Chain A
Amino acid sequence: MKRLALLGLVAAVFALAACGGDDGDGDGAAGGDVRGDTVALIEERGALKCGVTDTLPGFGFREPDGSFSGFDIEFCKAIAAAVLGDDAEVEFVAASSSARFELLSAGEVDLLSRVTTITAERDASRAVDFAQTTFYDGQGFVVHADSDIYDAADMGGATICVAAGTTTEQNLDDFFNEQGLSYTPLSGEGSEPQDQFVARRCDVFTSDKSGLAARIASLPNSDDYRFLPLTISKEPLAPGVRDYDSDWKDVVSWVVWGLINAEELGVTSANVDAWAADPPNTAVARLLGVPFEGGETADLGFAVDPQFIQRALRAVGNYGEIYARTVEPLGITRAGTLNALYTEGGILYAPPYR
């Protein structure tokens, strides 16, 4: 028995040596466990597998009846409608913050739509490519209303609840180091940080501001908590797709831009049928993939047919409608924030659809 174990060890060491031999530059960029044509894969399967969070009200949340709701969920539906013509053909997969990229690279999901921040490291070293940002966020802090913490300087020595494996976890290290303060992190998965904070296991709860607002709003006594007037990071939240599949990334990005362009052009879920039958101008005609005044339908060469944005619009409406339906009820108004259209003081600026 002992000799067997020894042999196993030897085998493992050999494997280690084989792996370690090629030291490379530590980039590990290739990844791509499941390469190829995700659009064809989805069409063949007849369903979009969407990796989502299921504990964040307003963004990705599993309702008591088992259905999913939220901002990120709407984008899953929009993309399913764009590719398959049916927004019900989505298979939601709960992807934890620490397992999300593995689920994507292993092919368990086609798309990550779960409040994921674009970072250089993720883009370069993980098998993930980021499509167009859907929500511009920043990291904030919330404390108990009766706490003595009012500003960054008061947080010295505090215990801080944070989601494991997130950019917020790393921002904390940067921020406190910059401030010359110490702190104790308490990392958990899913809604664990929230539970720990509510139980007063920690003094401060940190996450993306929208996520914090959503979680606090969902608590029975939301008046017991207070937000600190601090934003310590940029958190552009974007859908993630696998590396090396630009056709698929194009579809995802252009559904997002399409829905933003639709808002700019005034196309809504209410008027999409009428305007598809009789488009008011060429821009709307191109966006909806219909001919303008007896002309030809413009095919821009996507991996899906030219009417994909029209189908997405019919399923979920334009960007403004999605926002109003999911994020607005949390008390996060849109006007004046980064997520307003560029014509209204925000930074949502979609490239022209032509």
Chain B
Amino acid sequence: MATHAPQPPAGLPEPPEVPLVYQRRIRDLLIQALYVAVTALVIAYVVLQLGGREYGFGFLNQPASFDVGNQWLTNIDGTTNSRFTMYLVGVWSTIRVVVLAIALSTVFGILIGVARLSSNWLVSRLAMLFVETFRNAPLFVQIVLWYAVVLFGLPTIQNVINVGDFLFLSNRGIAIPWTVPDGGFWGGPDWMVGVWVAALFAAGGLAFWVRRRRQTAERETGKVQYPNRWALGLFAALALASFILLGMPVAIDRPIVEGTTYAEGMAIYPEFAALLLGLVVYTSAFVAEIVRGSIQALPRGQTEAASAIGLTAYQRLTTVILPQALRQIIPSVTNQYLNVSKNSSLASGVSYFDLFFVANIIQNKIGHAVEVFLLITVTYMLMSLVISLIMNYINRRVTLHSV
């Protein structure tokens, strides 16, 4: 983003001295000093107002004595575990929903954004309807509405919808088959797991190498080489081969209904589903607009030139339009990703135990509002920082790539 300051041509008189306050460096310093001073004053004021309280984070180490639902891969109870551990369980729940929501809203956002530019009248109007509906209603309302739809729209578990003993649908959630370690090398030496992971990494590396080679060949010869299809196909074949060679160490576990709960398989709880659905639908409406705007910002000549050399509509989009549009898309879409992480705190509206909900339970029990909210703030800041770092990395790559 660096702008090159125009150099004054030689021989011209020096520009007049700029007053100190208007000099960029001095001004920046002043603004920063002011910012720090105001922040410090506000914090000092709050602390003074709450005077007489005792501060400290020791309360986080005491037993939680409440339980947290909606756990996945963990089963941590609050009897022996500390409040901080329960908070981390909440953080893990937040991370799950944020990562999935970002991934899904990217996919749907791009699809809908491209659909808005479709020459098919129906497709583009439907995409517009989607965007205008979901970006103009408050997110909290949408999440609560989705929850009501899931809770009251789906049958009870007594009347569960059974799709071929393979998928179950009720207002206790959606149960899908899931993988479990089974047979193969399990029970044998532990390092076999390492062997498998190493084999998968090697397959991935090989696939990358093939992709790079085919991309180069494509660029040099102009012949279509399908680098992505080759790479994916190769990786799938190698992964399957390693899976069979190692004696099929992973089995697919089909869900079953036991009494009023799902057993085995994986259950996606309605609270999680409602929150995810709300976040994805809302965010993809914004992402779609960013994608559309970024594509439209490209000169029309790009599309026309791509058509002129005989690329199909799909090739046009994936090799000419999107790679260039990405430079516009990524910085704007980063903001949306940051919003997803913050908006996930609406989880408590649908009984999903995210970090904000768990922190609220702790705060309600023992007080220490200042410390608890500091903890929440720092956690969200860290999450935003990680997202920013990742997106900045991607941004740098895209910028370099297309120079």
**Could you tell me which A residues sit within 8 Å of B by CB distance?**
3-4, 7-12, 14-16, 18-33, 97-99, 101-102, 121, 125-127, 147-148, 157-159, 164-165, 169-170, 172-174, 176-177, 182-189, 192, 195-196, 199-201, 203
**Could you tell me which B residues sit within 8 Å of A by CB distance?**
28, 31-32, 35-36, 39-40, 43, 47, 49-50, 52-59, 62, 64-69, 77-79, 151-152, 156-158, 171-172, 259-261, 270-271, 348, 351, 353, 357, 360-361, 364-371, 374, 377-378, 381
Contact B369 A102 (CB under 8 A): yes
Contact A159 B260 (CB under 8 A): yes
Given that A98-B360, A159-B172, A186-B69 are contacting pairs, would A31 and B367 also be in contact in the complex, using a CB cutoff of 8 Å? Answer: yes
How far in angstroms is the closest Cβ of chain B from A91? Answer: 23
Contact A170 B365 (CB under 8 A): yes
Main secondary structure of the interface of B (DSSP, over half): helix
Contact A200 B369 (CB under 8 A): no
- The answer for the CA separation of A229 and B211 in the assembled complex, in Å, is 68
Can you name 5 A-B pairs with beta carbons within 8 Å? A21-B55, A28-B59, A97-B364, A177-B77, A184-B261
Contact B156 A173 (CB under 8 A): no
- The answer for the CA separation of A267 and B357 in the assembled complex, in Å, is 48
How far in angstroms is the closest Cβ of chain A from B276? Answer: 17
- The answer for the CA separation of A243 and B268 in the assembled complex, in Å, is 45
Option from A7, A22, A121, A182 in Cβ contact (under 8 Å) with B365? A121
Given that A24-B56, A164-B348, A201-B151 are contacting pairs, would A159 and B261 also be in contact in the complex, using a CB cutoff of 8 Å? Answer: yes
- The answer for the CA separation of A72 and B249 in the assembled complex, in Å, is 61
Option from A20, A22, A174, A199 in Cβ contact (under 8 Å) with B152? A199
Contact B32 A32 (CB under 8 A): no
- The answer for the CA separation of A176 and B67 in the assembled complex, in Å, is 10
Contact A177 B79 (CB under 8 A): yes
Given that A159-B260, A201-B270 are contacting pairs, would A32 and B54 also be in contact in the complex, using a CB cutoff of 8 Å? Answer: no
Of all chain B residues, which has the CB nearest A33? B50
Of all chain B residues, which has the CB nearest A187? B351
Contact A101 B351 (CB under 8 A): no
Point out which of A8, A102, A187, A188 has the most chain B C-beta atoms below 10 A from its C-beta.
A187
Extra inter-chain contacts (15) besides given A21-B55, A26-B58, CB under 8 Å: A19-B55, A24-B55, A24-B58, A25-B54, A26-B54, A28-B368, A97-B364, A157-B259, A157-B261, A164-B361, A165-B365, A173-B65, A173-B78, A186-B271, A200-B158
Chain B residues with CB below 8 A from A21, complex form: 55
Given that A11-B43, A173-B66, A185-B68 are contacting pairs, would A31 and B53 also be in contact in the complex, using a CB cutoff of 8 Å? Answer: yes
Contact B50 A101 (CB under 8 A): no
Contact A18 B47 (CB under 8 A): yes
Of all chain B residues, which has the CB nearest A177? B79
Contact B35 A4 (CB under 8 A): yes
How far in angstroms is the closest Cβ of chain A from B338? Answer: 12
Contact A148 B259 (CB under 8 A): yes
Contact A172 B367 (CB under 8 A): no
Of all chain A residues, which has the CB nearest B31? A4
Contact B40 A203 (CB under 8 A): no
Contact A169 B66 (CB under 8 A): yes
Chain B residues with CB below 8 A from A25, complex form: 54, 58
- The answer for the CA separation of A27 and B31 in the assembled complex, in Å, is 40
- The answer for the CA separation of A245 and B374 in the assembled complex, in Å, is 29
- The answer for the CA separation of A196 and B55 in the assembled complex, in Å, is 38
Contact B36 A169 (CB under 8 A): no
Point out which of A157, A173, A189 has the most chain B C-beta atoms below 10 A from its C-beta.
A173
Given that A157-B261, A173-B66 are contacting pairs, would A9 and B171 also be in contact in the complex, using a CB cutoff of 8 Å? Answer: no
- The answer for the CA separation of A182 and B261 in the assembled complex, in Å, is 13
Contact A23 B374 (CB under 8 A): no
Contact B35 A30 (CB under 8 A): no
- The answer for the CA separation of A285 and B77 in the assembled complex, in Å, is 57
Instruction: Give the top 3 A-B pairs by smallest Cβ distance, nearest first.
Output: A24-B54, A165-B364, A30-B52
Contact B56 A20 (CB under 8 A): yes
How far in angstroms is the closest Cβ of chain B from A62? Answer: 19
Option from A23, A30, A33 in Cβ contact (under 8 Å) with B56? A23
Chain A residues with CB below 8 A from B56, complex form: 19-20, 22-24, 26
Contact B40 A11 (CB under 8 A): yes
Option from A29, A158, A173, A199 in Cβ contact (under 8 Å) with B171? A199
Contact A200 B49 (CB under 8 A): no
How far in angstroms is the closest Cβ of chain B from A103? Answer: 12
Chain A residues with CB below 8 A from B52, complex form: 30-32
Chain A residues with CB below 8 A from B351, complex form: 164, 186-188, 192, 196
Chain A residues with CB below 8 A from B364, complex form: 97-99, 101, 164-165
Chain A residues with CB below 8 A from B172, complex form: 159, 200-201
Contact A19 B47 (CB under 8 A): yes
Contact B151 A195 (CB under 8 A): yes
Chain A residues with CB below 8 A from B55, complex form: 19-24, 28
Chain A residues with CB below 8 A from B366, complex form: 28, 121, 125-126
Contact B357 A164 (CB under 8 A): yes
How far in angstroms is the closest Cβ of chain B from A240? Answer: 13
How far in angstroms is the closest Cβ of chain B from A13? Answer: 9
Of all chain A residues, which has the CB nearest B349? A189
Chain A residues with CB below 8 A from B259, complex form: 148, 157
Contact A7 B360 (CB under 8 A): no
Of all chain A residues, which has the CB nearest B260? A203
